Amino acid sequence: MLREPILVTEAAATDDECARLGLFPGEMVCRVDRIRRHGEQLLVENIRLVAALFPSLQKPVPSICDLADTYGLELGEALESVCTVAASADIAKALDVTQGTLLLMSDRVVHLRDGRPAEWRITYSPDQENLARLLARL
């Protein structure tokens, strides 16, 4: 998980990464694990990028929109789901909350205009205001 606020590595895609990013076994992904501030909230983000689309990725890693501009790619649709999860020990430590605290988890895949997946991002947030709104809808 997170050892520092931003950790960028390149490695062969896991089975989950292959499934979410439409990759074949052995294809490479860039893994970006980071803690960032959004207003008053801390967020933990686990970002997976198709390495072939973003060669020589450097820190700090910009947004997918900025990356697409830099690499001359046209973005298409993004599919996102939001749910609640209990904070794992690693996530709780990174967000400075108690393990088991309910968090919002956003799971998003951004596709290129031609339909190929480019980015898979999971974000964890202790945003209690939005959490309350989500739970009120259930």
Q: Is residue 63 part of a domain?
A: yes
H or E element, residue 92:
helix 89-95
Flag whether the pTM goes above 0.75. Answer: yes
Q: Is residue 51 part of a domain?
A: yes
The more confident residue out of 138 and 68 is 68
Q: Which domain holds residue 126?
A: 6-137
- Our separate counts of H helices and E strands in the chain read 4, 6
DSSP 93: H
Q: What's the domain count of the chain?
A: 1
The more confident residue out of 32 and 127 is 32
Q: Is 50 exceeded by the pLDDT of residue 64?
A: yes
Q: Is residue 27 part of a domain?
A: yes
Q: Is 60 exceeded by the pLDDT of residue 128?
A: yes
pLDDT per residue as tens digits for the range 68-126: 999 999 999 999 998 989 999 999 999 999 999 999 999 999 999 999 999 999 999 98
Q: Is residue 105 part of a domain?
A: yes
Output the domain CATH number for residue 43: 3.40.1410.10
Q: Is residue 1 part of a domain?
A: no
- What is the band of 133 on the pLDDT scale with cuts at 50, 70, 90? low
Nearby residues of 83 by Cβ (< 8 Å), 6 or more positions away: 104, 105, 107
Q: Is residue 21 part of a domain?
A: yes
